Chain A
Amino acid sequence: MSVQTARLQADRLIDSYHVERAPVDVLSLARQLGLSVIFENLGEGVSGLLVTRAGRGFIVVQKQEKPARQRFTIAHEIGHYVLRHQFDNGRPVHVDRGYLISQRGPRSTTGLDAKEIEANQFAATLLMPVRLLKTALSKLGDPPLSDGVVTELAKIFQVSEQPMTIRLTSLGWL
């Protein structure tokens, strides 16, 4: 498994569900994949959970966080599920805490971090597909992109500005 595979899988999902406009409806995508999504107060520092049980998947999202952050969490957990990540000792519950911070951390080669990075790349690709970004950009004007454009794009795709900035940078557009 690699970051490229993660991106490819997200693109395939976007294509096969005919996602045509931003913001991408991650809740509906999760449901179509057979994942139940539950909002709950999960305690300090926890963004989300992926629970797999008897072959079924559940996503639990931190109720306390902002919608943009919750959307990223849902996309991240869909990533773990679609990429068939196996966690320690086959435990049914996987907890994600502040994974955005470790997104580009130096420990990227260790097992767990690699899975988190893959899930993040998957989430970024799913929430901000290149094709839809291009469409949105064509209406907002040509590069170089100003901060205002990043803010505007974040609003259109309903993500936080941080992942939008990272996404645009990794595409070489910023």
Chain B
Amino acid sequence: MPVIEPIYCTVGRRIQEMRASRGMTQELLGRSLMPPMTRASVANIESGKQRILLHTLLQISGVLNVPINEFISAQADPAQNQNSGSDLEHELAKELDVPKRVLKRLANKFVEAQNRNS
């Protein structure tokens, strides 16, 4: 499989997050574009397997009502700071009254799920 530049993964992940948080399906997003895009293409863009075209990104930014720079800004890629669960363990400890081993297990599960999805 050809190597795709990491920026496409980042952009794809942000599209996925914004779309999902609006309760929109991949299919619906694809249909909102002109020309329409199949669900599979949207999935490939979101996973970073397909390089998104500039005019497509512009349209998606319009459909999701998100400024285009939010997809491509140079802020740190979330993927880079998701390897450690210790900060989260700390946050959980502030809110929950459970044994430390439970906090640790929870934080680990988050990191696992995050790595699996990214």
Chain A residues within 8 Å of B, Cβ to Cβ:
9, 12-13, 16-17, 32-36, 38, 40-44, 46, 49, 51, 53-56, 58, 60, 81-82, 84, 91-93, 95
- Out of B17, B28, B91, B105, which one reaches A55, CB within 8 Å? B17
Contact B25 A54 (CB under 8 A): no
Bound-state CA distance A42–B21 (Å) is 25
Number of contacting residues on B, CB 8 A?
31
Contact B24 A16 (CB under 8 A): yes
Contact B21 A43 (CB under 8 A): no
Bound-state CA distance A9–B24 (Å) is 10
- Out of B21, B23, B88, which one reaches A92, CB within 8 Å? B88
Question: Across the interface, which residues of A come within 8 angstroms of B79, CB to CB?
Answer: 54
Q: Is B81 an interface residue (CB 8 A)?
A: yes
Q: Is B100 an interface residue (CB 8 A)?
A: no
Question: Across the interface, which residues of B come within 8 angstroms of A92, CB to CB?
Answer: 88, 91
Question: Across the interface, which residues of B come within 8 angstroms of A43, CB to CB?
Answer: 96-98
Q: Is B117 an interface residue (CB 8 A)?
A: yes
Contact A34 B20 (CB under 8 A): yes
Contact B106 A56 (CB under 8 A): no
Q: How many A-B residue pairs have CB under 8 A?
A: 79
Question: Across the interface, which residues of B come within 8 angstroms of A82, CB to CB?
Answer: 21-23
Contact B17 A34 (CB under 8 A): yes
- Out of A9, A32, A41, A54, which one reaches B82, CB within 8 Å? A54
Contact B96 A46 (CB under 8 A): yes
Contact A56 B96 (CB under 8 A): no
Bound-state CA distance A84–B110 (Å) is 20
Distance between A8 CB and nearest chain B CB, rounded to angstroms: 10
Question: Across the interface, which residues of A come within 8 angstroms of B22, CB to CB?
Answer: 82
**Given contacts A55-B14, A56-B114, are A95 and B98 in contact (CB under 8 A)?**
no
Question: Across the interface, which residues of B come within 8 angstroms of A60, CB to CB?
Answer: 106
